[in-house]
Amino acid sequence: MADQRGRQEIGPIVSSAHLADGALPALSELEFGLILAGNAFDRWMVRCMTAAGEPGCAAIEVLVLHSVAHRQRPKRLGDLCSVLGVEDTHVVIYAIKKLEKRGLVTSARAGKEKLIAATEKGVETCLKYRAVREALLVESMKGLGLDTAATSAVAAMLRALSGHYDQAARAAASL
């Protein structure tokens, strides 16, 4: 199909045209954007952690470390899984074990619960990560002139969308 100037229209940029043929093609565009952004973000976290002095971490380990270091209070396993949106606790348990071996977190029992805390080395690593992030990512993003209110609105929309996807996943599991 051609536009008014005679140029050929490409249509929505998607990874699966058969999904974009449905009632909401824009959702397929959003999903493709999420795929690309998610993979790019995973690569960024791994490489930023390497630059911060901890090579070989998986993206989930970086997420767990930052979550554990958040507000410098020990976290329960269930809370970590909930905050990170990870359904399989074994994934987080494995990440914690790997972070413990690196000396970045410690775990202890508090009754029946396991509490995970960042070590001094873990906090220092998070601060190094922040410094690399500020220098390499934040500075270039500031150059885009993004409106912080609009950026926050996009973040809120993504959190809301995660709820719709979770609900749809529960419904699909019941089929």
Decide which of 12 and 66 is more confident. Answer: 66
Closest CA to 48 of 149, 154, 164, 133: 133
pTM: 0.90
How far is residue 132's CA from residue 142's CA, in Å, rounded to a whole number? 15
Closest CA to 42 of 62, 68, 13, 20: 62
pLDDT band at 3 (very low <50, low <70, confident <90, very high): low
The pLDDT of residue 1 is above 60? no
Range of the domain at 118: 38-144
Is residue 6 in some structural domain?
Answer: no
Contact 52, 73 (CB under 8 A): no
Tens digit of pLDDT for each residue in 112-156? 898 999 999 999 999 999 999 999 999 999 999 999 999 999 999
Number of domains in the chain: 1
Among the listed ranges 16-25, 30-39, 44-53, 119-128, which one has the minimum average pLDDT value? 16-25
Q: Angle at Cα 34 formed by Cα 160 and Cα 98, nearest 5°?
A: 95
Is residue 77 in some structural domain?
Answer: yes
Residues in a beta bridge with 108: 115
Is residue 156 in some structural domain?
Answer: no
How large is the average pLDDT for residues 161-165? 96
* CATH (domain of 131): 1.10.10.10
pLDDT at 2: 57
How large is the average pLDDT for residues 9-15? 81
Tens digit of pLDDT for each residue in 46-88? 999 999 999 999 999 999 999 999 999 999 999 999 999 999 9
Is residue 64 in some structural domain?
Answer: yes
Measured from the Cβ of residue 49, the count of other Cβ atoms closer than 10 Å reads 24
The answer for residues whose C-beta is within 8 angstroms of residue 162's C-beta and 6 or more apart is 85
Is residue 52 in some structural domain?
Answer: yes
Is residue 153 in some structural domain?
Answer: no
Is residue 166 in some structural domain?
Answer: no
Is residue 112 in some structural domain?
Answer: yes
The pLDDT of residue 161 is above 60? yes
